[in-house]
Amino acid sequence: MTDISAYSIYLVECRDGSLYTGITVDVARRLTEHERGGKGAKYLRGKGPLKLVFQREIGDRSLASKLESRIKRLPRVEKADIARLSDRVESLLAELSEVNTAQ
């Protein structure tokens, strides 16, 4: 069962092929906001239709934000390889866990 307050990371592909990465506690609601334009990210306005290509529950907001930052710094080719992205996310999570443990 999914914890309603647990944050998830998600990637959305735009009509032009660009990828947007975000975090939220409700991916479906957030995607709807992006598609409608009002409360969604300015970057995504006019870039629809949007396609959710990846999502994964992360847990707390701090970890989700750190992971979002790491994913945004990945080369586009790594983010675009959706089949391997899940493994890459797991690797980044392990790195972040090591950093948190060492502190």
Q: Domain extents for the chain?
A: 7-102
Contacts of 45 (CB under 8 A, 6+ apart): 37
Instruction: Name which of 6, 23, 31, 18 is nearest 70 in CA terms.
Output: 23
* pTM, rounded to two decimals: 0.86
Mean pLDDT over each residue of the chain, to the nearest integer: 89
Instruction: State pLDDT tens for residues 24-59.
Output: 999 999 999 998 877 878 888 888 899 999 999 999
CATH of segment(s) 7-102: 3.40.1440
